[in-house]
């Protein structure tokens, strides 16, 4: 690594590049801003000079009314100019400071969009939020006030030093300014400590947001258990932690903030004793001595400001560090560099000897899985909890990266797809069916920029939720609340399935997405999905994977695989699996047995035919309902 | 402004009162610090006038003066530090109290509130609005006391010097007040806007972070980014306006100082030339008028901090003013719990005139095991949430053991009624703590016992640290069924008298479910059990089954009885049983 690279890397870590980057893009604005503030500082020094001249002419007795008029105007014009330049400089800097925070928030959001689920497993939403809430706020301070205070401070410091040096005799200047040498030492000592403590404080704030987010996200559970006092206790812990970290921080920063101007005061002490000695010795004149003291007082304010500024810089530096750490997290799934597969997917799926282990864990959760699904066919996956069904679905979507040469679509390894193309080709209903707090319509039409209402309604008809939606006060325009709290469990699931249908992808994956609807509706949905009634979104050409615990959802699949602890334990179709008498048959007996888990009912031969007929009847009815609806 | 200020004060005052002695002490300290600042030039002046610029300077007394000066400097340093720490400690304690009180208050609010308010907004309220009070303690208080103190001193000096000119200088005061009032009004409005937009941004972020995998799976990153940008841009706009306003205000107050000097030069010269005022007085006034405006400027600059704080406080007050609509009546006593439930013509509407439950009549005897089935959206979950008093019925009543549940103490009610909910929530912490819900008084052995019983022990022990494994973000690395088992164990540990399972086994395979049911069977001696399920095999073992449709109970009876009726239940049952239909 060359030095240059190292420097770059360092600045990447420290996060200051976020500010520099932007400043470099707008050099002119920053130049004008710095220049204006500088100019304003210069003008500020001129006013006392004008007053001085005014005084002189008075003393000389040369002042008349027109002279007074002239000085009035001078003071007025210079004063207004000073304020205006200061205003311009501050305005430019501050407005851009705000733009920077805006950009940082955008960057954060973009980054978050690129991070994989495994990242989110290690980082809580609340803590991440705290980056956009508290850290960005800290950065804003330095970005908007920084320039002003620094330029002002440096200028005033420079002016005071300049005055001292041109008027001064050297020994006194060296003696008076000597203590200031300690300042860089203090910065070196306190700087990193303040920064570290500030980072701790920010982390504590993040911790609190995490707790708040989590507890209010699970408020129903907290209330159901009457557990309010326990969570209040947990919250108090976090708040106590913030208080103690903050006090530590304040201790460090205020001692530093006070030490810097103290150095000027100590210089003052030295000058008084040493200067008066020199005055008495007639080495310097009394006037020089007094003037020197005056200039030394001028040092105090800018030093105080600079001390504060250094504090703010350390704080921001901590927050910038946290932000840039986040921004530097590499996204997990990369598109390969080679030529990416981009042609439309037909829907032939093949999984070959797939073995998978979650990164950082010891055991394989999938072992040597193989199956094929021809275009338009359906695969059912069942298996006990934790057997790896969801993992399989996630791998197909490359939410986790599958091993090379294990999953193929249309004969192409999905790792050779662009992630975008792959995810466009697969429509998925996750097991928890997360919904957004927007309207029903926007949720169903999530996969498109602009909601196509007709398509959304059709999707809802297919998933048998249209009727429910029409009963809502605002129908498709109903806001469904955070994560869909205003919907029933089954409605949530069906809206999530409708969202999948709407996407109209060649491959459908349903991950236990019918568990909260009754079996009748389940059947209706599965039938509709293969129906050619709405060819633009559903039909026989879709390849489908249905993961379920309820066997009624998979029994009609072309092939069913039974997973157990990550292995394919049994495979076949419903009839053959029932006959085989293994796990599937056992589950089947439990779920279908009229007398509970005691096995197949003996008396159902006649019954079954009867039921079948009734159901087919029903199917005919549902189609009729839909037709009626369409006609209307 | 006055009202807002009062509202803010009302909330802050009790906290400040608690620390009133400390606040007085801090006030004195600030004055002390200011005095040390002011005394320094006086010492120097003394030293020069009396000891240095005399014909026969005495090195000893000069050293003495230097010593005094040194002491004052060190004292100033120490006092500043001490005052700062003290103020911060006090401020932090106050903020801490406000925060915990706010959190406690929020915990007491009913679900209606949470249905309405996104958690992102609540986070902004608890985390950021309270944090805005911090500035008040760091800068505002100390700086303003200092400014006011200096201002008073300068005013006194000015009046001592020349009452007439001083009075003229005061002509600007009403102007400052009028303009300030104008800007303060605007600043408050924009601050309100800004805070509310910030909370919109945060709410959007919170939701999208939680649902990021959906965004990614549907490949809607660009769309969501645009949505975010929309909100973020709005926030930017209002911060820009706020900044412009602040700076316009700054432009005004800053220029007043210089205009004041110009005016003095102009109006002062006449009398001086005429000789009615000495030049020294005019010169001194020019100096004073500049120093007069310095503290005024710094006060006006702090007024924005004040606005931010007022608006934040207002938002906090608004939350404090939310009253829970589920409350317990004073002195409610716990009846002896047996577990009988009765719904009497119970109605529930989440929105007015939109009844979800349309008159439920149901009597459940203690120890009954009842299954609930029915179309999705029929109102099963809603019915159960009445039992835990998540909501109160809009008509009719719900009684447990003959006592209207509104007359029960809430805590006991919720300990009596245990619900395994359709949505699973786990918290950051160990598996053990999740199962006992962070109640340290529940022994670990009890947790092990329950987990074994319901068949969760196996998978928990397979986790890297077993029961001590830290769950990552809400249990995201567990499979769904595993999460469901944990939430099941959590309810069982608390051993409620009335146990409600709302689709509690939907994510379980039938074998795990069988283990569970056996466990429930074992412990349910005398326990009332209500089970909602779409998988009929789950409920057919129950004493009787209640079939719901569209907010009403339509059938009731045992599995066999209901099958004979060929009603709703039979249809549900049949579709579950359908075999080998050629759909494909
Ligand atoms: N992100 C992860 N990191 C580590 N382990 C994981 C992760 N996600 C799941 N697991 C583990 O992998 C196993 C398989 O999980 P998976 O979610 O695929 O099960 P599943 O078959 O879908 O179960 P269920 O029917 O309960 O949904 C489980 O034991 C689970 O604890
Ligand atoms: N918090 C709420 N605010 C407004 N409406 C709600 C709320 N909760 C539920 N609803 C509505 O009340 C009706 C009944 O919902 P409920 O959750 O009780 O049904 P359910 O019988 O449990 O259905 P499922 O079997 O799908 O879980 C639904 O139409 C739903 O949209
Ligand atoms: Mg799963
Ligand atoms: Mg429900």
CATH, residue A436: 3.40.50.300
Amino acid B582: pLDDT: 31
Are residue B227 and residue B349 in the same domain, yes or no?
Answer: no
Name the pLDDT band for A275 (thresholds 50, 70, 90).
confident
Cβ contact (<8 Å) for B376 and A144?
Answer: no
CATH number for the domain spanning B127: value is 1.20.1560.10
Which residues of chain B lie closer than 8 angstroms to A262, CB-CB?
A: 73, 77
DSSP secondary structure string for all residues of A25-42: H-HHHHHHHHHHHHHHHH
- Mean pLDDT for chain A? 78
How many domains is chain A built from? 3
Are residue A588 and residue A479 in the same domain, yes or no?
Answer: yes
Ligand 3 centroid from CA A268, angstroms: 74
In a domain, B301, yes or no: no
Buried b or exposed e, range A306-329, using 16+ CB within 10 angstroms: bbbbbbbbbbbbbbbbbbbebbee
**Could you tell me if B100 lies within 8 Å of chain A, comparing CB atoms?**
yes
In a domain, B298, yes or no: no
Please give the residue of chain B at the shortest CA–CA distance from A134: B128
Which residues of chain A lie closer than 8 angstroms to B575, CB-CB?
A: 518-520, 522-523, 552, 615, 618
E strand residue ranges, A128-262: none
Are residue A196 and residue A117 in the same domain, yes or no?
Answer: no
Are residue B436 and residue B543 in the same domain, yes or no?
Answer: yes
> How crowded is residue B65: how many other Cβ atoms within 10 Å of its Cβ?
21
Tens digits of per-residue pLDDT, A47-105?
A: 777 777 777 777 676 767 777 778 788 888 888 888 888 888 888 888 888 888 888 88
Instruction: Tell me which ligand sits closest to the C-alpha of residue B482.
Output: 1
User: Which residue, among B255, B244, B288, has the nearest Cα to A43 in the 3D structure?
Assistant: B255
Cβ contact (<8 Å) for A390 and B428?
Answer: no
In a domain, A602, yes or no: no
Are residue A323 and residue A260 in the same domain, yes or no?
Answer: no
In a domain, A79, yes or no: yes
Cβ contact (<8 Å) for A549 and B510?
Answer: yes
Are residue B118 and residue B62 in the same domain, yes or no?
Answer: yes
User: Which residue, among B582, B554, B569, B546, has the nearest Cα to A616 in the 3D structure?
Assistant: B582
Cβ contact (<8 Å) for B70 and A225?
Answer: no
Are residue A372 and residue A263 in the same domain, yes or no?
Answer: no
How many domains is chain B built from? 3
Cβ contact (<8 Å) for B381 and A488?
Answer: yes
**Could you tell me if B260 lies within 8 Å of chain A, comparing CB atoms?**
no
In a domain, A487, yes or no: yes
Q: Is the CB of A386 under 6 A from ligand 1?
A: yes
Amino acid A611: pLDDT: 43
B245: tokens are 């306003």
> Strand pairing partners for B420?
B501
Are residue A228 and residue A138 in the same domain, yes or no?
Answer: no
In a domain, B332, yes or no: no
Which residues of chain A lie closer than 8 angstroms to B381, CB-CB?
A: 488-489
Are residue B43 and residue B132 in the same domain, yes or no?
Answer: yes
How far away is chain A from the Cα of B363, in angstroms, using its nearest Cα?
22
Ligand 2 centroid from CA A484, angstroms: 10
Tens digits of per-residue pLDDT, B66-106?
A: 888 888 888 888 888 888 888 888 888 888 888 888 888 88
**Could you tell me if B341 lies within 8 Å of chain A, comparing CB atoms?**
no
Please give the residue of chain B at the shortest CA–CA distance from A397: B217
Confidence check: pLDDT of A626 > 50: no
Are residue B19 and residue B113 in the same domain, yes or no?
Answer: yes
Ligand 2 centroid from CA A480, angstroms: 11
Instruction: Tell me which ligand sits closest to the C-alpha of residue B472.
Output: 1
* Segment among A587-596, B33-42, B335-344 with least mean pLDDT: A587-596
Are residue A466 and residue A437 in the same domain, yes or no?
Answer: yes
Q: Which of B223, B235, B373 sits opposite A449 (nearest CB)?
A: B223
Cβ contact (<8 Å) for B265 and A75?
Answer: yes
Ligand 2 centroid from CA B551, angstroms: 10
Query: Could you give the angle at which helices B279-321 and B172-210 cross, rounded to 10 degrees?
Result: 40
Which residues of chain A lie closer than 8 angstroms to B221, CB-CB?
A: 113-114
Mutate to test the interface with A, among B377, B391, B417, B461 (most CBs of A within 10 A): B377
Instruction: Tell me which ligand sits closest to the C-alpha of residue B502.
Output: 4
Mutate to test the interface with A, among B46, B119, B351, B379 (most CBs of A within 10 A): B119
Please give the residue of chain A at the shortest CA–CA distance from B495: A225
In a domain, A55, yes or no: yes
- Mean pLDDT for chain B? 80
Domain that holds residue B57: 1-162+311-323
In a domain, B335, yes or no: no
How far away is chain B from the Cα of A373, in angstroms, using its nearest Cα?
14
Residue B282 CA, chain-centre distance (Å), reads 56
Are residue A502 and residue A539 in the same domain, yes or no?
Answer: yes
Are residue A503 and residue A543 in the same domain, yes or no?
Answer: yes
B158: tokens are 């000015």
Instruction: Tell me which ligand sits closest to the C-alpha of residue A492.
Output: 2
Which residues of chain B lie closer than 8 angstroms to A597, CB-CB?
A: 510, 514, 537
Domain that holds residue A553: 349-396+403-592
Which residues of chain A lie closer than 8 angstroms to B257, CB-CB?
A: 79
Cβ contact (<8 Å) for B123 and A608?
Answer: no
| DSSP summary character for residue A573 | -
**Could you tell me if B506 lies within 8 Å of chain A, comparing CB atoms?**
yes
> Strand pairing partners for B557?
B545
Are residue A390 and residue A499 in the same domain, yes or no?
Answer: yes
Which residues of chain A lie closer than 8 angstroms to B348, CB-CB?
A: none
CA dihedral A378, A379, A385, A389 (to 10 degrees): -100
Percent of chain A scoring above 90 in pLDDT: 0
Q: Where are the alpha helices (DSSP H) in B322-401?
A: 380-387
Are residue A156 and residue A176 in the same domain, yes or no?
Answer: no
Cβ contact (<8 Å) for A87 and B247?
Answer: yes
**Could you tell me if B465 lies within 8 Å of chain A, comparing CB atoms?**
no
Ligand 2: list residues with CB < 6 Å.
A 485-491, 516; B 115, 350, 356, 376-382, 422
Cα separation of B209 and A124, whole Å?
9
Helix (H, G, I), strand (E, B) or coil at B188: helix
- The domain boundary, picked from B293, B323, B353, lies at B323
Are residue B433 and residue B516 in the same domain, yes or no?
Answer: yes
CA-closest residue to ligand 1 atom 1: B477
Which residues of chain A lie closer than 8 angstroms to B507, CB-CB?
A: 385, 431, 512, 515, 549
In a domain, A87, yes or no: yes
> What's the farthest any 2 CA atoms get from each other in chain A?
128
Amino acid B255: pLDDT: 82
Which has more confidence, B583 or B571? B571
Cα separation of A86 and B247, whole Å?
10
In a domain, B244, yes or no: yes
Helix/strand/coil percentages in chain A, nearest 5: 65, 10, 25
> Helices (H) and strands (E) in chain A — how many of each?
22, 10
- The domain boundary, picked from A250, A283, A316, lies at A283
Tens digits of per-residue pLDDT, A197-248?
A: 888 888 888 888 888 888 888 887 887 777 778 888 888 888 889 888 988 9
Amino acid B579: pLDDT: 37
Who's near B78: CB < 8 A, 6+ residues apart?
A: none
Confidence check: pLDDT of A604 > 50: no
In a domain, A618, yes or no: no
Are residue A126 and residue A268 in the same domain, yes or no?
Answer: no
How far away is chain A from the Cα of B414, in angstroms, using its nearest Cα?
5
Are residue B171 and residue B157 in the same domain, yes or no?
Answer: no
Geometric angle at alpha carbon B273, from B267 and B279, rounded to 5°: 80
Please give the residue of chain A at the shortest CA–CA distance from B62: A273
Cβ contact (<8 Å) for B212 and A120?
Answer: yes
Ligand 4 centroid from CA A379, angstroms: 28
When pLDDT is averaged across residues B404-424 and rounded to a whole number, the result is: 81
Amino acid A630: pLDDT: 47
When pLDDT is averaged across residues A464-485 and rounded to a whole number, the result is: 83
Name the pLDDT band for A596 (thresholds 50, 70, 90).
very low
When pLDDT is averaged across residues B132-157 and rounded to a whole number, the result is: 78
When pLDDT is averaged across residues A586-590 and rounded to a whole number, the result is: 75
Who's near A134: CB < 8 A, 6+ residues apart?
A: A202, A205, A206, A209, A319, B127, B128, B131
Q: Which of A113, A383, A593 sits opposite B215 (nearest CB)?
A: A113
Under 8 Å between Cβ of A145 and A310: no
Instruction: Tell me which ligand sits closest to the C-alpha of residue A563.
Output: 1
Ligand 2 centroid from CA B110, angstroms: 17
State the pTM of this model: 0.82
Are residue B406 and residue B552 in the same domain, yes or no?
Answer: yes
Please give the residue of chain A at the shortest CA–CA distance from B412: A226
Amino acid A338: pLDDT: 65
Ligand 3 centroid from CA A384, angstroms: 10
Are residue B506 and residue B540 in the same domain, yes or no?
Answer: yes
CATH number for the domain spanning B496: value is 3.40.50.300
Are residue B157 and residue B143 in the same domain, yes or no?
Answer: yes
Are residue B319 and residue B432 in the same domain, yes or no?
Answer: no
Are residue A124 and residue A236 in the same domain, yes or no?
Answer: no
> How crowded is residue B443: how many other Cβ atoms within 10 Å of its Cβ?
10
Beta strands B528-532 and B544-549: pairing type?
Answer: unpaired
> Strand pairing partners for B499?
B418, B529
ipTM for the predicted complex: 0.82
Helix (H, G, I), strand (E, B) or coil at A560: strand
CA-closest residue to ligand 2 atom 1: A486
CA-closest residue to ligand 2 atom 27: A489
Who's near A495: CB < 8 A, 6+ residues apart?
A: A433, A435, A440, A443, A444, A460, A463, A465, A480, A484, A487
Mutate to test the interface with B, among A101, A197, A268, A272 (most CBs of B within 10 A): A272
Name the pLDDT band for A381 (thresholds 50, 70, 90).
very high
Amino acid B7: pLDDT: 66
**Could you tell me if B181 lies within 8 Å of chain A, comparing CB atoms?**
no
Cα separation of A296 and B44, whole Å?
12
Name the pLDDT band for B575 (thresholds 50, 70, 90).
low
């Amino acid at each position: 690594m060359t030095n240059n690279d190292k420097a770059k890397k360092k600045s990447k870590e420290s996060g200051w590049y976020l500010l520099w980057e932007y400043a470099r893009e707008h050099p002119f604005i920053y130049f004008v801003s710095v220049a204006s503030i500088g100019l304003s500082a210069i003008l500020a020094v001129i006013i006392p000079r004008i007053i001085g001249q005014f005084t002189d002419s008075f003393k000389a007795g040369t002042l008349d009314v027109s002279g007074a008029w002239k000085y009035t105007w001078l003071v007025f014009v210079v004063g207004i100019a000073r304020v205006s330049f200061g205003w311009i400089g501050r305005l430019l800097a501050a407005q851009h400071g705000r733009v920077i925070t805006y950009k940082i928030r955008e960057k954060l959001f973009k980054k978050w969009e690129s991070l994989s689920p495994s990242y989110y497993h290690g980082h809580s939403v609340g803590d991440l939020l705290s980056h956009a809430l508290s850290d960005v706020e800290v950065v804003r301070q330095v970005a908007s006030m920084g320039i002003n205070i620094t330029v002002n401070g440096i200028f005033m410091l420079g002016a005071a030093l300049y005055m001292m040096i041109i008027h001064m005799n050297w020994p006194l200047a060296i003696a008076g300014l000597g203590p200031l040498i300690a300042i860089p030492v203090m910065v070196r000592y306190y700087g990193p400590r303040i920064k570290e403590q500030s980072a701790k404080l920010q982390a504590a704030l993040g911790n609190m947001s995490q707790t708040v987010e989590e507890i209010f996200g699970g408020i129903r559970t907290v209330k159901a258990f009457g557990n309010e006092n326990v969570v209040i206790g947990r919250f108090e812990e976090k708040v106590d932690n913030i208080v103690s970290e903050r006090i530590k921080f304040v201790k460090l920063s205020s001692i530093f903030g006070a030490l810097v101007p103290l150095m000027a005061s100590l210089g003052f002490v030295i000058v008084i004793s040493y200067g008066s000695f020199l005055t008495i010795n007639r080495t310097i004149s009394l006037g020089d001595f007094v003037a020197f003291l005056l200039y030394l007082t001028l040092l105090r304010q800018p030093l105080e400001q600079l001390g504060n500024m250094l504090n703010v810089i350390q704080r921001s530096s901590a927050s910038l560090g946290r932000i840039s750490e986040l921004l530097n997290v590499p996204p997990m799934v990369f598109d390969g560099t080679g030529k990416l597969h981009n042609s439309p997917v037909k829907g032939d799926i093949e999984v070959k000897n797939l073995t998978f282990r979650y990164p950082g864990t010891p055991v394989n959760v999938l072992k040597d899985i193989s199956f094929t699904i021809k275009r338009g066919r359906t695969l059912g996956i069942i298996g006990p909890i934790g057997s790896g069904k969801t993992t399989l679905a996630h791998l197909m979507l490359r939410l986790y990266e599958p091993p090379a040469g294990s999953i193929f679509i249309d004969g192409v390894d999905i790792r050779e797809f662009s992630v975008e193309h792959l995810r466009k080709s697969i429509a998925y209903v996750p097991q928890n069916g997360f919904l957004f707090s927007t309207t029903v319509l926007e949720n169903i039409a999530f996969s498109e920029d602009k909601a196509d209402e007709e398509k959304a309604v059709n999707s809802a008809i297919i998933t048998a939720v249209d009727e429910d939606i029409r009963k809502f006060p605002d129908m498709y325009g109903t806001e469904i609340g955070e994560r869909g709290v205003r919907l029933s469990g089954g409605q949530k699931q069906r809206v999530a399935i409708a969202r999948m249908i709407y996407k109209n992808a060649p491959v459908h994956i349903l991950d236990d997405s019918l568990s909260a609807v009754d079996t009748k509706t389940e059947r209706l949905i599965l039938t509709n999905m293969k129906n050619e009634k709405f060819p633009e979104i559903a039909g026989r050409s879709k390849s489908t994977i249905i993961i379920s615990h309820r066997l009624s959802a998979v029994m009609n699949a072309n092939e069913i695989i039974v997973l157990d602890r990550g292995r394919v334990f049994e495979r076949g179709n419903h009839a053959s699996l029932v006959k085989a008498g293994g796990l599937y048959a056992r589950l089947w007996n439990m779920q279908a047995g009229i007398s509970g888990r005691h096995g197949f009912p003996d008396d159902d031969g006649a019954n079954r035919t009867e039921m079948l007929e009734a159901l087919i009847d029903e199917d005919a009815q549902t189609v009729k309902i839909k037709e009626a609806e369409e006609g209307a | 402004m006055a009202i807002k200020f009062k509202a803010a004060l009302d909330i802050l005052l009790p906290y400040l009162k608690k620390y009133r002695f400390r606040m007085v002490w801090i006030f004195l300290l600030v004055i002390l610090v200011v005095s040390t600042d002011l005394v320094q030039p006086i010492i120097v002046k003394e030293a020069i006038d009396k000891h240095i610029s005399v014909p026969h300077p005495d090195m000893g007394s000069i050293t003495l003066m230097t010593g005094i000066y040194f002491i004052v400097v060190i004292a100033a340093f120490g006092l500043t530090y001490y005052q700062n720490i003290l103020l911060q400690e006090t401020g932090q304690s106050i903020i801490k109290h406000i925060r915990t009180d706010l959190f406690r208050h929020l915990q007491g609010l009913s679900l209606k509130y949470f249905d309405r308010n996104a958690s992102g907004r609540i986070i902004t309220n608890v985390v950021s609005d309270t944090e805005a009070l911090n500035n008040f303690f760091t800068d505002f208080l100390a700086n303003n006391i200092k400014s006011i103190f200096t201002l008073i001193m300068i005013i006194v000096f000015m009046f001592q010097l020349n009452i007439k000119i001083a009075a003229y200088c005061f002509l600007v005061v009403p102007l400052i007040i009028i303009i300030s009032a104008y800007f303060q009004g605007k600043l408050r409005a924009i601050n309100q806007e800004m805070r509310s937009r910030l909370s919109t941004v945060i709410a959007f972020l919170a939701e999208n972070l939680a649902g990021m995998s959906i965004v990614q799976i549907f490949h809607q990153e660009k769309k969501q980014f645009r949505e975010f940008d929309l909100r973020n841009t709005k926030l930017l706009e209002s911060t820009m306006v706020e900044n412009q306003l602040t700076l316009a205000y700054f432009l005004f107050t800053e220029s007043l100082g210089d205009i004041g000097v110009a005016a003095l030069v102009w109006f002062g010269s006449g009398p001086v030339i005429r000789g009615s005022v000495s030049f020294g007085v005019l010169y001194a006034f020019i100096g004073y008028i500049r120093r007069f405006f310095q503290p005024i400027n710094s006060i006006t600059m702090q007024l924005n901090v004040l606005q931010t704080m007022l608006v934040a406080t207002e938002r906090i007050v608004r939350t404090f003013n939310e009253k829970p609509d589920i409350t317990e009546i004073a002195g409610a006593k716990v009846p002896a719990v047996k577990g009988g439930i009765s719904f009497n013509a119970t109605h529930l509407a989440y929105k007015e005139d939109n009844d979800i439950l349309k008159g439920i009549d149901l009597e459940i005897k203690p120890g009954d095991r009842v299954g609930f089935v029915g179309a999705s959206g029929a109102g099963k979950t809603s019915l159960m949430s009445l039992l835990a008093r998540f909501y109160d019925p809009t008509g009719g009543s719900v009684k447990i053991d003959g006592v209207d549940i509104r007359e029960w103490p809430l805590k006991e009610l919720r300990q009596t009624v245990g619900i395994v909910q359709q949505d699973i929530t786990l918290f950051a912490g160990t598996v053990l703590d999740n199962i006992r819900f962070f109640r340290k008084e529940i022994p670990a052995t009890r947790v092990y016992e329950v987990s074994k019983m319901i068949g969760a022990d196996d998978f928990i022990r397979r986790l890297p640290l077993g029961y001590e494994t830290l769950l990552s973000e809400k249990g995201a690395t567990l499979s769904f069924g595993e999460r469901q088992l944990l939430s099941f164990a959590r309810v069982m540990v608390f051993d409620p008298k009335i146990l409600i399972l709302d689709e509690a086994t939907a994510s379980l395979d039938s074998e795990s479910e069988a283990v569970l049911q056996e466990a429930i069977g074992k412990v349910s001696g005398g326990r009332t059990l209500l089970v909602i399920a779409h998988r009929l095999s789950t409920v057919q073992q129950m004493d009787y089954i209640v079939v719901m449709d569209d907010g009403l109970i339509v059938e009731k009876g045992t599995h066999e009885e209901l099958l004979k009726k060929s009603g709703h239940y039979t249809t549900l049952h049949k579709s579950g049983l359908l075999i080998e239909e050629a759909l494909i």
